[in-house]
């Protein structure tokens, strides 16, 4: 019988930085490579001062839920401050940036529906590991 759910634990999640110069990295929870979804669900971690490069997705909605930290989000030139507990949904085609403006790392639950090859882009990057600060913040031990 096929399972009706997928399960991941943070300590076993695969973690990638797309490019060595990037200031954000991704702990993959679910994506087409490890589950039956056509979307991607990650914890995105931004170093202090870090940001996404300007980007857009022609057919995908991108969702950010701030788990810890604070930052600023820009979409098509409009900016807004974001902090723990805030949610942001970006429409397909919008050019956007998320930037960490706080004094500690910024952690978001980031979901892209559909994946639109974002999973392949992340997985093509450098495999890294979460550090103890990441584990502490994300498990509530910090």
Judge whether 9 lies within some domain. no
Per-residue pLDDT, averaged over 90-115, amounts to 97
By mean pLDDT, which of 5-14, 64-73, 97-106, 109-118 is the weakest?
5-14
pLDDT at 141: 86
Q: What is the pLDDT of residues 39-59, one digit of tens each?
A: 999 999 999 999 999 999 999
Give the structural domain span for 98.
16-139
In this structure, is residue 70 part of a structural domain?
yes
Q: Please give the pLDDT value at position 1.
A: 65
What CATH number is given to the structural domain containing 72?
2.60.120.10
Within a domain: 65? yes
The total number of structural domains in the chain stands at: 1
Provide DSSP, the chain.
---S-----GGGSEEEESSTT-SEEEEEEE-TTTSS-SSEEEEEEE-TT-BPPSB--SS-EEEEEEEESEEEEEETTEEEEEETT-EEEEPTT--EEEEE-SSS-EEEEEEEES-TTHHHHHHTSEEE---HHHHHHHHT--
């Amino acid at each position: 019988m096929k399972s009706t759910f997928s399960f991941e634990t943070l300590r076993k999640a695969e973690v990638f930085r797309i490019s060595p110069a990037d200031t954000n990295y991704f702990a993959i929870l679910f994506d087409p490579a490890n589950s039956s979804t056509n979307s991607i669900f990650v914890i995105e971690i931004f170093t202090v001062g870090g940001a996404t490069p300007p980007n857009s997705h022609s057919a995908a909605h991108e969702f950010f839920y701030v788990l810890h930290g604070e930052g600023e989000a820009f979409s098509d030139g409009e900016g807004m401050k974001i902090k723990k507990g805030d949610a942001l949904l970006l429409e397909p085609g919008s050019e956007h940036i998320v930037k960490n403006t706080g004094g500690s790392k910024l952690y978001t639950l980031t979901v892209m529906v559909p994946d639109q090859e974002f999973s392949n882009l992340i997985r093509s990057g450098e495999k890294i590991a979460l550090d103890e600060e990441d584990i502490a913040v994300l498990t509530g031990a910090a």
